[in-house]
Amino acid sequence: MTIRRHIIKIKKTAAALKKRTSWKWKLGIAITGAILISAATFWLALPLPQNYETEVPPRPKSYSAKIISLRHDNAKGTILEIKFNADEPALTNLPEYQIEEIFAEAKTRAVFEKISRLENSVDYREIAASPLVEDIKCDIDNGRLIVEVMRQGHYSKARAGGGGNLVTIVFPAAENDYPAISNQKPAANSAVFPMRHTISLEAVLHAPLETASIFINNDPVQFRTEQLAPGEYRFAFETDVQLDKEYRIKAIVADQAGRAAVSQWTLEGQIPSAAALGKDRFKYLGWWGQINANGVTVRQGASAASEKLGVFSTANRVKVVKEVFGEWVDGKNLWYQIDGGAFAGAYIFSDFVTPMPQPEPPQDIRIPEEIKIGEKWIDVDLSKKIMTLFEYDKPLFATYIAPGREENPTKTGIYRIWYKLAKDEMRGGPPLHSYYYHLKDIPWVMYYNYDYAIHGTYWHDKFGTRQSAGCTNMTQGDAKFIFENTLPELPEGQEEVFAREKPNVGYGTGTVVHNHD
């Protein structure tokens, strides 16, 4: 019965709806349907855009890159951040990349794929601030960004991570048990004699040795490896060191635990005098040295087979006017040509000359009143045994001299040169002197106080001490320089000249000589 009643009810409802659905309702439904069908037909008739893709690709065809920062964190290490932007819409903004450690070159190499351009480079000031990074090079090659980071100090493998559009590379220090490099020879910043040298270093490792490399001026060298004890090694090679050339040594030692150490030091090929006195040691025609042994042979040439001219002792001082490479003796071939003194122009082996404090112009200048601006004059410090040639207040030349002994001291005072001779003869004896002397052909004589003179010397090499009978003794080369740079000027072809009272008469008044203690 129940089912029957439901069927009757449905029929009555349908009949009622039929009566209510007038022609207006039917017309509205028909018009609405027609509009919808027309719109759908128009939309489907529109042309599709060319190259239309229905999905966004997972990676773009290329990226641009920008260095964001390079900074050092004492806890983490040196951190490099690189930002990437896709050149077209894509699901990811990071390119594919890989990190490689090249311990043999102390280098970390990062390669990023599909890079179209790099917008900037690393600021050199940021590199200089990092104790773990020596240099960074960034280049694009065939669509790949190659970042090479030269490591320094003691370090471990780099770590990299990315998020969003940023890649962060951390270059950490090796905190514990890293290879320790020491005992570099020759020592850092040393000046070594120009010859063949053995370059060496030692290393202590806490894990097996992975690799070791040595570079000299960025060129790899072949070297010997010697195991001194378990975990202890010595590395060495030979090279020819040249004069005035700098050598930069770089040693890299890495263990199998992924830790490495880099040691860098420099040395320069120099002769001993350059290391002690500097490159301007010849500014006053040469430099002074003390003979450091007795029985030192003086030779005609830079060879042990050359003619023997005489012998020096520790009482002698010499002025070196030239450094030459001659015959090899005990692994060295440096010889000195000297002024004199007794052996002007002769040679002695370099090992027997020790550089001494050089003569310097006085700091507190006492310019005689009669000196005019631009005028040359001679200052003689009898206590320091130093002569200085000035042009008013500008020093032109300084050298050691040998003034008078205590029994015949050189007179103090202000004088003028009154007579000059290319050569002269001098003699003396009691009662003015306790000894006799008779010297011929004394070179470059300049009389300034009656018979007191400045002149060259060929009978001793004890300059810087009191040696004369009252005159001012100089080496022959120094005396010639002073002779040629003072008044009166010696006319060409003459052997002597007198000074005149007036500058515009003859060859001028004589140069002032100021002797003082």
pLDDT at 204 over 80: yes
431 shares a domain with 409: yes
Secondary element (H or E) of residue 29: helix 23-45
CB 121 within 8 A of CB 145: no
CB 476 within 8 A of CB 458: yes
186 shares a domain with 158: no
CB 321 within 8 A of CB 338: yes
- pLDDT class for 45, splitting at 50, 70, 90? low
Last residue of a domain, one of 269, 296, 317: 269
* Bridge partners for 468 per DSSP: 404
pLDDT in tens, 302-318: 999 999 999 999 999 99
Length of the chain: 517
Q: Is 7 inside a domain boundary? A: no
Q: Is 55 inside a domain boundary? A: no
The residue segments making up the domain with residue 441 are 376-516
Among 97, 160, 166, 158, residue whose Cα is nearest residue 130: 158
222 shares a domain with 166: no
Sign of CA dihedral 125, 131, 133, 134: positive
From residue 457, alpha-carbon distances to 18, 25, 289, 315, 426 in Å are: 149, 142, 18, 16, 12
- pLDDT class for 243, splitting at 50, 70, 90? confident
Q: What is the pLDDT of residue 57?
A: 82
Structure pTM? 0.64
- pLDDT class for 22, splitting at 50, 70, 90? low
Q: DSSP string of 184-248?
A: EESPTTEEE-SSEEEEEEEEE-SS-EEEEEEEETTEE---EEEEEETTEEEEEEEEEPPTT-EEE
Q: Is 462 inside a domain boundary? A: yes
503 shares a domain with 400: yes
Last residue of a domain, one of 128, 153, 171: 171
Q: How far apart are the C-alpha atoms of 369 and 113, rounded to whole Å?
A: 81
Percent of the chain, pLDDT > 70?
Answer: 88
Angle at 450 between CA 444 and CA 455, to 5 degrees: 20
Q: What is the pLDDT of residue 293?
A: 97
Q: How far apart are the C-alpha atoms of 23 and 45, rounded to whole Å?
A: 33
The residue with greater pLDDT, 142 or 1, is: 142
Tally of structural domains, the chain: 4
Last residue of a domain, one of 207, 237, 269: 269
CATH number for 70:
2.60.40.3500
CATH number for 297:
2.30.30.40
Q: What is the pLDDT of residue 503?
A: 42
Q: How far apart are the C-alpha atoms of 399 and 417, rounded to whole Å?
A: 19
The residue with greater pLDDT, 482 or 31, is: 482
126 shares a domain with 78: yes
Terminal CA-CA length for the chain: 152
Q: How far apart are the C-alpha atoms of 267 and 318, rounded to whole Å?
A: 29
From residue 233, alpha-carbon distances to 78, 182, 227, 491 in Å are: 29, 10, 4, 72
CB 150 within 8 A of CB 134: yes
Q: Is 279 inside a domain boundary? A: no
Q: How far apart are the C-alpha atoms of 331 and 457, rounded to whole Å?
A: 35
399 shares a domain with 494: yes
Q: Is 360 inside a domain boundary? A: no
416 shares a domain with 315: no
Percent of the chain, pLDDT > 90?
Answer: 75
pLDDT at 50 over 60: no
Count Cα neighbours of 406 within 13 Å in the Cβ-side half-sphere: 0
CB 196 within 8 A of CB 240: yes
CB burial readout 408-426, b (16+ within 10 A) else e: bebeeebbbbbbbbeebee
